[in-house]
Structure 1
Amino acid sequence: MEKSKLQVTLRNLLITYILTGILLVVLAFALYRFRLKEGQIRLGVNAVYVITCLLGGILMGKSIRQRRFFWGLLLGVTYFVVLLGVSYFLNKGLTGSMNQILTTMAICAASGTAGGMLS
Protein backbone atom coordinates (compact mmCIF):
# COMPACT_ATOMS: atom_id res chain seq x y z
CA MET A 1 0.00 0.00 0.00
CA GLU A 2 1.32 3.42 -0.96
CA LYS A 3 1.88 5.98 1.75
CA SER A 4 -0.18 9.16 1.68
CA LYS A 5 1.44 12.47 0.85
CA LEU A 6 0.88 13.60 4.44
CA GLN A 7 2.77 10.58 5.78
CA VAL A 8 5.62 11.18 3.34
CA THR A 9 5.77 14.86 4.32
CA LEU A 10 5.79 14.11 8.04
CA ARG A 11 8.45 11.42 7.64
CA ASN A 12 10.70 13.72 5.61
CA LEU A 13 10.11 16.58 8.05
CA LEU A 14 11.15 14.30 10.92
CA ILE A 15 14.31 13.30 9.03
CA THR A 16 15.09 16.97 8.44
CA TYR A 17 14.73 17.81 12.12
CA ILE A 18 16.91 14.88 13.15
CA LEU A 19 19.59 16.13 10.74
CA THR A 20 19.12 19.64 12.15
CA GLY A 21 19.75 18.35 15.65
CA ILE A 22 22.91 16.54 14.58
CA LEU A 23 24.27 19.58 12.72
CA LEU A 24 23.47 21.92 15.62
CA VAL A 25 25.37 19.64 18.00
CA VAL A 26 28.35 19.81 15.60
CA LEU A 27 27.99 23.61 15.51
CA ALA A 28 27.82 23.76 19.31
CA PHE A 29 31.02 21.71 19.52
CA ALA A 30 32.69 24.06 17.05
CA LEU A 31 31.53 27.01 19.14
CA TYR A 32 33.01 25.42 22.25
CA ARG A 33 36.24 24.27 20.62
CA PHE A 34 37.05 27.25 18.40
CA ARG A 35 35.31 30.09 20.28
CA LEU A 36 33.41 31.23 17.23
CA LYS A 37 32.21 34.81 16.92
CA GLU A 38 28.52 35.72 16.72
CA GLY A 39 28.66 36.32 12.97
CA GLN A 40 30.19 32.90 12.40
CA ILE A 41 27.50 31.28 14.52
CA ARG A 42 24.73 32.99 12.52
CA LEU A 43 26.37 31.85 9.31
CA GLY A 44 26.58 28.30 10.71
CA VAL A 45 22.91 28.28 11.72
CA ASN A 46 21.88 29.56 8.28
CA ALA A 47 24.06 26.86 6.70
CA VAL A 48 22.21 24.27 8.80
CA TYR A 49 18.88 25.62 7.47
CA VAL A 50 20.14 25.45 3.89
CA ILE A 51 21.57 21.93 4.20
CA THR A 52 18.58 20.44 5.98
CA CYS A 53 15.90 22.05 3.80
CA LEU A 54 17.84 21.16 0.66
CA LEU A 55 18.03 17.52 1.77
CA GLY A 56 14.36 17.60 2.78
CA GLY A 57 13.40 18.97 -0.63
CA ILE A 58 15.42 16.24 -2.35
CA LEU A 59 13.72 13.59 -0.22
CA MET A 60 10.27 15.05 -0.95
CA GLY A 61 10.95 15.19 -4.68
CA LYS A 62 12.17 11.60 -4.77
CA SER A 63 9.24 10.41 -2.65
CA ILE A 64 6.37 12.11 -4.45
CA ARG A 65 7.84 12.32 -8.00
CA GLN A 66 5.44 14.96 -9.30
CA ARG A 67 5.56 18.75 -8.98
CA ARG A 68 8.83 18.28 -7.11
CA PHE A 69 9.58 21.98 -6.71
CA PHE A 70 6.18 22.50 -5.05
CA TRP A 71 6.69 19.67 -2.58
CA GLY A 72 10.19 20.92 -1.80
CA LEU A 73 8.77 24.39 -1.20
CA LEU A 74 6.06 22.93 1.01
CA LEU A 75 8.63 21.07 3.08
CA GLY A 76 10.79 24.20 3.47
CA VAL A 77 7.84 26.36 4.53
CA THR A 78 6.52 23.67 6.89
CA TYR A 79 10.00 23.33 8.40
CA PHE A 80 10.05 27.09 9.00
CA VAL A 81 6.53 27.21 10.46
CA VAL A 82 7.30 24.42 12.94
CA LEU A 83 10.60 26.10 13.81
CA LEU A 84 8.82 29.44 14.36
CA GLY A 85 6.09 27.81 16.44
CA VAL A 86 8.51 25.99 18.71
CA SER A 87 10.61 29.14 19.08
CA TYR A 88 7.50 31.18 19.93
CA PHE A 89 6.40 28.60 22.51
CA LEU A 90 9.80 28.25 24.18
CA ASN A 91 10.60 31.97 24.25
CA LYS A 92 7.03 33.01 25.13
CA GLY A 93 7.03 35.34 22.13
CA LEU A 94 9.00 36.08 19.01
CA THR A 95 12.60 37.11 19.34
CA GLY A 96 14.49 38.81 16.56
CA SER A 97 13.40 41.34 14.02
CA MET A 98 10.85 40.77 11.30
CA ASN A 99 13.73 41.04 8.81
CA GLN A 100 15.49 38.07 10.44
CA ILE A 101 12.28 36.04 10.52
CA LEU A 102 11.51 36.71 6.85
CA THR A 103 15.10 35.98 5.85
CA THR A 104 14.97 32.62 7.63
CA MET A 105 11.66 31.83 5.93
CA ALA A 106 13.14 32.72 2.53
CA ILE A 107 16.21 30.55 3.19
CA CYS A 108 14.08 27.55 4.17
CA ALA A 109 11.63 27.97 1.29
CA ALA A 110 14.31 28.52 -1.35
CA SER A 111 16.43 25.61 -0.13
CA GLY A 112 13.46 23.25 -0.05
CA THR A 113 12.45 24.34 -3.56
CA ALA A 114 15.99 23.88 -4.86
CA GLY A 115 16.13 20.43 -3.30
CA GLY A 116 12.87 19.49 -4.94
CA MET A 117 14.16 20.63 -8.33
CA LEU A 118 17.45 18.76 -7.86
CA SER A 119 15.73 15.48 -7.00
Structure 2
Amino acid sequence: MGKSQKTGIMRIFQALLVSYAITALLLLVLAVLLYKLNLDKGKVSAGIIGIYVVSAFAGGFLLGKLQKVRKFIWGLVLGILYFLLLLLVSFGVYHTLQGDVVNLLTTLVLCSAGGMLGGMFS
Protein backbone atom coordinates (compact mmCIF):
# COMPACT_ATOMS: atom_id res chain seq x y z
CA MET A 1 0.00 0.00 0.00
CA GLY A 2 1.50 3.30 -1.11
CA LYS A 3 1.77 6.45 0.92
CA SER A 4 -0.98 8.20 -1.05
CA GLN A 5 -3.37 5.30 -0.39
CA LYS A 6 -2.64 5.46 3.34
CA THR A 7 -3.18 9.21 3.28
CA GLY A 8 -6.50 8.77 1.45
CA ILE A 9 -7.70 6.19 3.96
CA MET A 10 -6.67 8.42 6.86
CA ARG A 11 -8.58 11.33 5.32
CA ILE A 12 -11.68 9.16 5.03
CA PHE A 13 -11.36 8.14 8.69
CA GLN A 14 -10.89 11.78 9.72
CA ALA A 15 -14.00 12.86 7.82
CA LEU A 16 -16.01 9.95 9.26
CA LEU A 17 -14.84 10.86 12.76
CA VAL A 18 -15.97 14.47 12.23
CA SER A 19 -19.32 13.23 10.90
CA TYR A 20 -19.90 11.05 13.94
CA ALA A 21 -18.80 13.80 16.34
CA ILE A 22 -21.37 16.10 14.72
CA THR A 23 -23.95 13.30 14.93
CA ALA A 24 -23.27 12.83 18.65
CA LEU A 25 -23.51 16.56 19.36
CA LEU A 26 -26.72 17.03 17.38
CA LEU A 27 -28.33 13.93 18.92
CA LEU A 28 -27.53 15.36 22.34
CA VAL A 29 -29.23 18.62 21.35
CA LEU A 30 -32.22 16.66 20.03
CA ALA A 31 -32.43 14.71 23.30
CA VAL A 32 -32.49 17.95 25.29
CA LEU A 33 -35.20 19.33 23.00
CA LEU A 34 -37.18 16.11 23.38
CA TYR A 35 -36.92 16.39 27.17
CA LYS A 36 -37.76 20.10 27.35
CA LEU A 37 -40.45 20.30 24.65
CA ASN A 38 -42.03 16.82 24.73
CA LEU A 39 -41.63 16.39 20.97
CA ASP A 40 -43.79 13.80 19.24
CA LYS A 41 -42.43 10.81 17.35
CA GLY A 42 -42.75 12.46 13.93
CA LYS A 43 -40.66 15.47 14.93
CA VAL A 44 -38.01 13.28 16.53
CA SER A 45 -37.82 11.08 13.41
CA ALA A 46 -37.50 14.16 11.20
CA GLY A 47 -34.78 15.49 13.49
CA ILE A 48 -32.84 12.23 13.30
CA ILE A 49 -33.04 12.17 9.51
CA GLY A 50 -31.93 15.81 9.40
CA ILE A 51 -28.99 14.96 11.66
CA TYR A 52 -27.94 12.14 9.32
CA VAL A 53 -28.03 14.45 6.30
CA VAL A 54 -26.20 17.33 8.02
CA SER A 55 -23.53 15.00 9.41
CA ALA A 56 -22.95 13.30 6.05
CA PHE A 57 -22.85 16.73 4.38
CA ALA A 58 -20.20 17.95 6.84
CA GLY A 59 -18.09 14.83 6.35
CA GLY A 60 -18.41 15.04 2.57
CA PHE A 61 -17.48 18.72 2.68
CA LEU A 62 -14.38 18.00 4.77
CA LEU A 63 -13.31 15.05 2.63
CA GLY A 64 -13.80 17.09 -0.54
CA LYS A 65 -11.58 19.82 0.90
CA LEU A 66 -8.93 17.27 1.86
CA GLN A 67 -8.94 15.31 -1.42
CA LYS A 68 -9.26 18.31 -3.79
CA VAL A 69 -10.14 16.15 -6.83
CA ARG A 70 -13.39 14.34 -7.69
CA LYS A 71 -14.92 15.92 -4.62
CA PHE A 72 -18.47 14.75 -5.24
CA ILE A 73 -17.31 11.13 -5.62
CA TRP A 74 -15.41 11.35 -2.32
CA GLY A 75 -18.48 12.89 -0.70
CA LEU A 76 -20.63 10.07 -2.05
CA VAL A 77 -18.17 7.49 -0.71
CA LEU A 78 -18.25 9.22 2.68
CA GLY A 79 -22.06 9.20 2.71
CA ILE A 80 -22.19 5.49 1.91
CA LEU A 81 -19.58 4.67 4.56
CA TYR A 82 -21.46 6.83 7.07
CA PHE A 83 -24.64 4.85 6.36
CA LEU A 84 -22.86 1.50 6.57
CA LEU A 85 -21.35 2.41 9.93
CA LEU A 86 -24.79 3.52 11.18
CA LEU A 87 -26.18 0.19 10.03
CA LEU A 88 -23.36 -1.73 11.70
CA VAL A 89 -23.81 0.11 15.01
CA SER A 90 -27.58 -0.37 14.86
CA PHE A 91 -27.14 -4.08 14.17
CA GLY A 92 -24.62 -4.37 16.99
CA VAL A 93 -26.93 -2.70 19.50
CA TYR A 94 -30.25 -4.30 18.51
CA HIS A 95 -28.95 -7.57 16.96
CA THR A 96 -31.37 -7.00 14.10
CA LEU A 97 -31.92 -4.40 11.41
CA GLN A 98 -34.28 -1.65 12.51
CA GLY A 99 -36.95 -0.68 9.98
CA ASP A 100 -38.00 -2.17 6.68
CA VAL A 101 -36.12 -2.19 3.39
CA VAL A 102 -37.77 1.04 2.18
CA ASN A 103 -36.62 2.93 5.31
CA LEU A 104 -33.10 1.54 4.97
CA LEU A 105 -32.89 2.48 1.29
CA THR A 106 -34.27 5.95 2.02
CA THR A 107 -31.66 6.48 4.72
CA LEU A 108 -28.93 5.23 2.35
CA VAL A 109 -30.05 7.68 -0.34
CA LEU A 110 -30.23 10.59 2.12
CA CYS A 111 -26.80 9.88 3.62
CA SER A 112 -25.26 9.39 0.18
CA ALA A 113 -26.85 12.55 -1.19
CA GLY A 114 -25.82 14.55 1.87
CA GLY A 115 -22.21 13.40 1.54
CA MET A 116 -22.17 14.03 -2.20
CA LEU A 117 -23.61 17.53 -1.78
CA GLY A 118 -21.00 18.25 0.86
CA GLY A 119 -18.28 17.18 -1.53
CA MET A 120 -19.76 19.29 -4.33
CA PHE A 121 -19.89 22.41 -2.16
CA SER A 122 -16.34 21.97 -0.84
Which of the five TM-score ranges fits, normalised by the shorter chain? Answer: over 0.9
- Determine which of 83, 102, 113 is the counterpart of 1:80: 83
Match status 1:111 vs 2:105? no
Q: Deviations over 1:9-58 (max 9, x none)?
A: 00110111011000000000000000001000010001101111111111
Amino acid at match of 2:117: A
Give percent identity, aligned residues only: 39
Match status 1:45 vs 2:37? no
Q: Deviations over 1:46-95 (max 9, x none)?
A: 11011111111110110000000000000000000010011011101112
Amino acid at match of 1:11: Q
Aligned partners of 2:82 and 2:102: how far apart in 1? 18
Match status 1:23 vs 2:53? no
- C-alpha RMSD of the superposition: 1.2
SS at match of 2:69: coil
SS at match of 1:4: helix
Aligned partners of 1:94 and 1:55: how far apart in 2? 26
- Determine which of 87, 91, 95 is the counterpart of 1:92: 95
Aligned twin of 1:67: 70
Unaligned runs of 5+ in 2: none
Aligned twin of 1:7: 10
Runs of 4+ in 1 over 2 A off after TM superposition: none
